[in-house]
Amino acid sequence: MQPNLQTTPSLNSAGALTQNRVLRNTYALLGVTMIPTVIGAFIGTNLSFSFMRASPIMSSLLLLAVLYGMMFAIEKNKNSSVGVYLLLGFTLFMGIILGPLLQVALSFSNGAQLIAVAGGGTGITFLALAAFSATTKRDLSGMSRFLFVGAIVLMVAVVANIFLQMPALQLALSAAFILFSSLIIAYTINSIVHGGETNYISATLSIYISIYNIFSNLLNLLLVLTGNRD
């Protein structure tokens, strides 16, 4: 029994060090991803997306295919430096496709303020969720099935709305994405803390997409509810 008593603390310590390293690397890489995102957003606001407006359904479906293809490539290379470069390329592309929404926002007289509010709200939400998920003693792994089902339902609704183009459904989807993405952030960070997630590239991808979704959907709601074109 004595060897077990002696090795248990060291094993726990090694596990804690690994979890701290994954969490630290995740936050560091997440911060780096904001650089290509901002660059991409600047590029996107100065591009013409007339080709997307000409055929919105085909453009949306093609965009979804490209995004999921890039995410698949990142996951396949998450154990090498290639995954980091693919992730940075992905975040640059995500910034570019944020362009149409930012163009619409900037066409409002209070658009710049709403972009700032959406950014600040997203930041506060992330910090609050990160603090809660890293400090709570509860293991949130039980949320995995609910999140899986929720992801499928949301994806079906997104594809349906590509064809239906219903403003009410779009607003409902924006609210649902904010809630769902918040749960994903909490789940991912909590999973790192409890040793369930050990790859910082995969964790960063999940959290980044959630932050992106919170910002874009929060901005969309603000534009609809408080946007001023005068």
Task: For residue range 206-228, list pLDDT tens digits in order.
Answer: 999 999 999 999 999 999 988 88
3-state SS, one letter per residue, for the chain: CHHHHHHHHHHHHHHHHHHHHHHHHHHHHHHHHHHHHHHHHHHHHCCCCHHHHHCHHHHHHHHHHHHHHHHHHHHHCCCCHHHHHHHHHHHHHHHHHCHHHHHHHHCCCCHHHHHHHHHHHHHHHHHHHHHHHHHCCCCHHHHHHHHHHHHHHHHHHHHHHHHHCCHHHHHHHHHHHHHHHHHHHHHHHHHHHCCCCCCHHHHHHHHHHHHHHHHHHHHHHHHHHHCCCC
Taking residues 30-54, report their average pLDDT: 89
Taking residues 57-66, report their average pLDDT: 84
105-131: pLDDT as tens digits: 999 999 999 999 999 999 999 999 999
Report the share of the chain in percent with pLDDT over 70.
Answer: 92
Closest among 68, 66, 41, 75 to 204, alpha carbons compared: 75
pLDDT at 102 (0 to 100): 94
More confidently predicted of 188 and 196 = 188
C-alpha to C-alpha distance for 149 and 142, rounded to whole angstroms: 13
Closest among 216, 205, 214, 215 to 33, alpha carbons compared: 205
C-alpha to C-alpha distance for 87 and 91, rounded to whole angstroms: 6
140-162: pLDDT as tens digits: 888 888 888 988 998 898 888 87
Q: Does residue 4 register a pLDDT over 60? A: no
Q: Does residue 7 register a pLDDT over 60? A: no
Place 3 in a pLDDT band, splitting at 50, 70 and 90: very low
Output the pTM of the full model.
Answer: 0.88
pLDDT at 221 (0 to 100): 94
pLDDT at 49 (0 to 100): 77
Place 6 in a pLDDT band, splitting at 50, 70 and 90: very low
Q: Which of these ranges, 37-41, 56-60, 196-200, has the smallest mean pLDDT?
A: 56-60
Q: Does residue 52 register a pLDDT over 50? A: yes
Q: Does residue 95 register a pLDDT over 60? A: yes
